[in-house]
């Protein structure tokens, strides 16, 4: 009872916020689809891609990158320690991709033609590759997520089949993610004369891939804390500590690559040109790379709840800045116009993010997203390994392996 | 491949080409200053020199290469044409075009990409483009690309004082079907002079063509790692089970 009275006002506040966002979002949705892109957005012939591509698509896909890194760590690199966070991470990635596809429906001028890349092929187009990767990877994520649904309805057979193909599935997911995380960067290789030299680089695909790994893992930490706050989920600091070590390494690689790229391309003088580009470039590097690198490198921070949260949040912010800089700030000067999203563009973005939160919360409520506490789990696993495993050894159900 | 040669030294800014273009393509009135969904070509003035703006119809066009569904494509006859039924409206062509030519019907709830299509239908009937036909001053000439390049070179040779020694579009982004002659440097006439000589689609194709290799190599590496690490797991699992058996045996013995 007391628990409820403490929880209640907090939930009402967030519910209120979400309700407002939903109402505005529904209004803007109607407006956009009836009146068109011109009436609802600040986009123009000079500036055809804005917030929905920059944030909803480029950031959405990148922030879902935790999905392929964590599944690969567990199933391919056999780091069983991270198994407890697979479910929330796969759910986040799956939701992320569905929401990216939803956002795309808003942005496409002819959304009812979204299926065209299935039958009308242009393999020379990066966008074609992105479309296919997103479709295929969404399918992979759905297959990775389905066992949780089967479990709810006690459907043993289909989930057994899915478990058997889990390794090929994870490898496919890893390859698809590698391809299209980087191809979002490849998209911008075609505009060497339009994108500011601070961001345009022939290795843009590599930058997008590496930064997505850092951001995806940071999102895992970030969302662990949200889950801790909203779903009273236990925090596995030891897991997050391990993840933050990986982030340190990835951020380090990213930084070194960035320095090498900037010096080799001879664009260092661009850093002497005062202006929005320079300020935002430096902000992106300091907030998203240098400061979190230093913070995460300190053991004290890695085992501190707040320290982890703040550092991870900075990586995420820096990542979002980077994607917005590539797609908006970096393109602004050559376009000759100032783009700033309309309130309707912003409300639809908020709407889509809010839907993500609501669906996540519903999934947590009705499905087993956060796995049982550790002691329970270990006895469960012990039983599995003493009885079931001996009988059905070749089934090789990776999921039932004990921690060794 | 059919092309246009536009001689900016001959253009008087009469705008006959703009009107002819509107009539030939059934475009609405208005927007005669800048290209838009209503206007496929405009004439701009740079210190008394008139310069037409229209789609360059690149030999290897960025717009066609980036379109995920192939709604834009370069025909062998020369025009870069658009199929509105294929288009999904992603606007990547607008982002990718180095000349920022494709325009969008922003006010239309189901918008189309609009740009000069080189009067593709007229060409199919054996006619020349409407703009070339309308030009009374010889500023816009229609013909085969090689012949027009030849013509351009001979004009430059004949009057080296009048022309600068460059045909814009001969080499830019791998060559275009719309080419220009000028008496002053092209940068003064609002042309992009920072474009590479290589076709732009090469920039992305270099990366895209690596995909099969990445998939095969990645698949083999990841599969191999999974096999190795999980084998290690199996081995240690067996060791564990052996130990357990020993333990239970020892217990029985001690009993």
Q: Do A127 and B65 touch (CB under 8 A)?
A: no
Residues of A in contact with B104 (CB under 8 A): 37, 45, 48, 109
Q: Quote the pLDDT of residue B212.
A: 92
For testing contact with chain B, the best of A45, A80, A134, A385 (most B CBs within 10 A): A45
pLDDT reported for residue B28: 94
B182 with B168: CB under 8 angstroms?
A: yes
Name residue, tokens 């089934």: A395
Q: How far is A34 from chain B (nearest CA, A)?
A: 6
In sign, the C-alpha dihedral spanning A295, A296, A299, A303 is positive
**Closest Cα in chain A to B220:** A171
pLDDT value for B237: 82
HEC string of chain B equals: CEEEEEECCCCCCCCHHHHHHHHHCCCCCCCCCCCECCECCEEEEECCEEEEECCCCECCCHHHHHCCCCCEEECCCCCEEECCCCCCCCCHHHHHCCCCCCEECCCCCCCCEECCCCCHHHHHCCCCCHHHHHCCCCCEEEEEHHHHHHHHHHHHHHCCCCCCCCCECCCHHHCECEEEECCCCHHHHCCCCCCCCCCCHHHHHHHHCCHHHHHHHHHHHHHHHHHHHHHHHHHHHHHHHHHHHHHHHHHHHHC
Give me the pLDDT at residue B249, please: 82
ipTM of this predicted structure: 0.89
- Angstrom distance (rounded) from CA B66 to CA A126: 6
Question: Would you tell me the crossing angle of helices B201-208 and A126-152 to the nearest 10 degrees?
Answer: 40
- Closest approach of A82 to chain B, Cα-based (Å): 15
Does A48 sit within 8 Å of B230, measured CB to CB? no
Look at strands B178-181 and B2-7 and give their pairing. parallel
- DSSP class of residue A112 equals G
pLDDT of residue B114: 96
| Alpha carbon separation from A298 to A248, A313, A314, A399 (Å, rounded) | 10, 16, 15, 34
**Is the pLDDT confidence value at B78 over 70?**
yes
Closest CA–CA distance from residue B242 to any residue of chain A (Å)? 11
**Sequence-distant (≥ 6) Cβ neighbours of residue A48 within 8 angstroms:** B91, B94, B95, B104
Looking at residue A381, its pLDDT comes to 47
Rounded to two decimals, the pTM is 0.89
B:121-150 residues touching chain A, CB 8 A cutoff: none
Q: Comparing C-alpha atoms, which of B167, B45, B53 is closest to residue B102?
A: B53
* CA geometry: angle B93, B94, B95, nearest 5 deg: 90
Asked whether residue B60 carries a pLDDT value surpassing 60, the answer given is yes
Determine contact: B107 vs chain A, CB below 8 A. Answer: yes
Q: Which residues contact A221 (CB under 8 A, 6 or more apart)?
A: A240, A243, A244, A247, A308, A309, A312
pLDDT per position as a tens digit, B89-144: 999 999 999 999 999 999 999 999 999 999 999 999 999 999 999 999 999 999 99
Cβ contact A71:A80 at 8 Å: no
Residue of B nearest to A114 (CA): B88
Is residue B23 pLDDT above 70, yes or no?
yes
Whether B96 has its CB under 8 Å from any CB of chain A: the answer is yes
Q: Can you give the pLDDT at residue A387?
A: 38
Q: How far apart are CA A261 and CA A203, in angstroms?
A: 8
- Give the residue from A52, A58, A112, A190 with the most B CB atoms within 10 Å of its CB, the best one to mutate: A190
Encoded tokens for A357: 């939160």
Task: Indicate if the pLDDT at residue B224 is higher than 90.
Answer: yes
Give the nearest partner residue to A76 out of B35, B89, B229, using CB atoms. Answer: B229
Which residues in chain B touch residue A110, judged by CB atoms under 8 angstroms apart? Answer: 87-89, 110-111
User: Which of A45, A111, A174 shows the shortest C-beta gap to B94?
Assistant: A45
Interchain contact, B205 vs A124, CB within 8 Å:
yes
Please answer yes or no on whether A193 and B194 come within 8 Å at the CB atom.
yes
The number of residues in chain A equals 404
Answer yes or no: do B241 and A44 touch at CB < 8 A. Answer: no
Nearest CA in chain A to B223: A171
pLDDT at residue A374 in the model = 52
Q: State whether A122 and B69 contact (CB < 8 Å).
A: yes
Query: Closest residue of B to A396, CA-based?
Result: B234
Residues B239 and A402: their CA atoms lie apart, in Å, by: 13
Chain A hits for B96, Cβ within 8 Å: 190-191
Q: What local confidence, expressed as pLDDT, does residue B188 receive? A: 94
Q: For residue B122, what pLDDT is reported?
A: 94
- Chain A residues closer than 8 Å to B192 by CB: 193
Closest Cα in chain A to B70: A122
pLDDT of the residue at A170: 94
pLDDT band at B251 (very low <50, low <70, confident <90, very high): confident
- Please provide the average confidence, as pLDDT, over all residues in chain B: 93
Answer yes or no: do A110 and B195 touch at CB < 8 A.
no
What's residue A11's pLDDT? 61
Series of mean pLDDT values for 10-residue runs along chain A (404 residues): 48 85 97 96 96 96 93 90 91 95 96 95 94 95 92 87 89 94 95 95 96 96 90 87 95 97 93 93 96 96 93 97 96 93 97 94 90 51 42 41 44
Q: State whether residue B173 sits within 8 Å of chain A by CB.
A: no
């Amino acid at each position: 009872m007391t628990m409820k009275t403490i929880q209640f006002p907090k939930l009402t506040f967030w519910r209120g916020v979400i309700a407002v966002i939903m109402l505005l979002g529904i209004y803007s949705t109607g407006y956009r689809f009836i009146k068109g892109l011109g009436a609802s957005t600040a986009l123009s012939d000079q500036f055809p891609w804005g917030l929905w591509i920059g944030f909803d698509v480029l950031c959405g896909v990148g922030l879902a990158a935790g999905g392929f890194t964590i599944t690969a760590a567990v199933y391919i690199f056999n780091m069983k320690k991270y198994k407890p966070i697979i479910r929330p991470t796969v759910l986040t990635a799956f939701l992320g991709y569905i929401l990216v596809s939803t956002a795309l429906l808003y942005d496409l001028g002819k959304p009812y033609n979204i299926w065209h890349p299935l039958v009308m092929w242009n393999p020379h187009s990066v966008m074609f590759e992105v479309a296919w990767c997103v479709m295929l990877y969404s399918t992979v994520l759905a297959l990775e997520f389905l066992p949780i649904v089967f479990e709810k309805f006690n459907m043993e057979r289909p989930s057994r089949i899915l478990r058997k193909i889990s390794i090929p599935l994870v490898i496919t997911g890893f390859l698809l993610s590698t391809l299209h995380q980087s191809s979002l960067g490849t998209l911008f290789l075609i505009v060497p004369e339009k994108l500011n030299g601070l961001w345009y680089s022939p290795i843009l695909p590599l930058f997008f891939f590496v930064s997505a790994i850092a951001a995806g893992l940071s999102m895992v930490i970030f969302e662990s804390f949200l889950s801790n706050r909203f779903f009273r989920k236990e925090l596995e600091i030891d897991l997050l500590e391990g993840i933050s070590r990986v982030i340190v390494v990835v951020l380090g690689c990213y930084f070194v690559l960035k320095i090498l790229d900037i010096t080799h391309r001879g664009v260092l003088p661009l850093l002497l040109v005062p202006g929005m580009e320079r300020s935002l470039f430096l902000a992106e590097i300091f907030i998203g790379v240098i400061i979190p690198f230093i913070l995460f490198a300190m053991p004290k921070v890695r085992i501190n709840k707040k320290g982890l949260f703040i550092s991870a949040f900075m990586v995420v912010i820096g990542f979002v800045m980077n994607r917005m800089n590539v797609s908006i700030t970096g393109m602004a000067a050559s376009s000759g116009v100032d783009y700033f999203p309309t309130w309707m563009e912003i409300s639809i973005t908020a709407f889509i993010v809010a839907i993500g939160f609501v669906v996540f919360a519903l999934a947590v409520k009705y499905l087993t997203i956060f796995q049982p506490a550790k002691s329970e789990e270990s006895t469960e696993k012990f039983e599995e390994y003493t009885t079931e495993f001996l009988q059905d050894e070749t089934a090789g159900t990776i999921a039932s392996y004990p921690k060794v | 491949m059919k092309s246009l040669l536009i001689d900016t030294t001959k253009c008087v800014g009469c705008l006959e080409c703009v009107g002819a273009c509107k009539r030939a393509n059934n475009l609405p009135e208005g927007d005669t200053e800048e290209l838009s969904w209503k206007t496929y070509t405009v004439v701009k003035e740079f210190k008394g020199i008139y310069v037409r703006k229209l789609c360059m119809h690149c030999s290897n066009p960025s717009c066609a290469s980036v379109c995920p569904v192939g709604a834009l494509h370069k025909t062998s006859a020369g025009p870069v044409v658009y199929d509105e039924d294929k288009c999904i409206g992603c606007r990547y062509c607008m982002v990718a075009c180095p000349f920022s030519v494709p325009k969008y019907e922003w006010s239309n709830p189901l918008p189309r990409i609009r740009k000069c299509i080189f009067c593709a239908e007229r060409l199919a009937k054996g006619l020349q483009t409407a703009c070339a036909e309308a030009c009374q001053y010889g500023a816009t000439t229609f013909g085969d690309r090689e012949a027009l390049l030849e013509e351009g070179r001979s004009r430059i040779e004949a009057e080296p004082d009048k022309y600068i020694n460059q045909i814009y579009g001969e080499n830019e982004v791998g060559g275009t079907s719309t080419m220009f002659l000028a008496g002053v440097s092209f940068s003064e006439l609002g042309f992009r002079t920072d474009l590479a000589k290589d076709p732009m689609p090469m920039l992305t194709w270099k990366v895209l063509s690596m995909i099969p290799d990445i998939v095969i190599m990645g698949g083999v590496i990841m599969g191999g790692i999974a096999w190795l690490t999980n084998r290690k797991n199996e081995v240690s699992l067996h060791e564990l089970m052996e130990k357990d058996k020993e333990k239970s045996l020892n217990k029985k013995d001690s009993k």
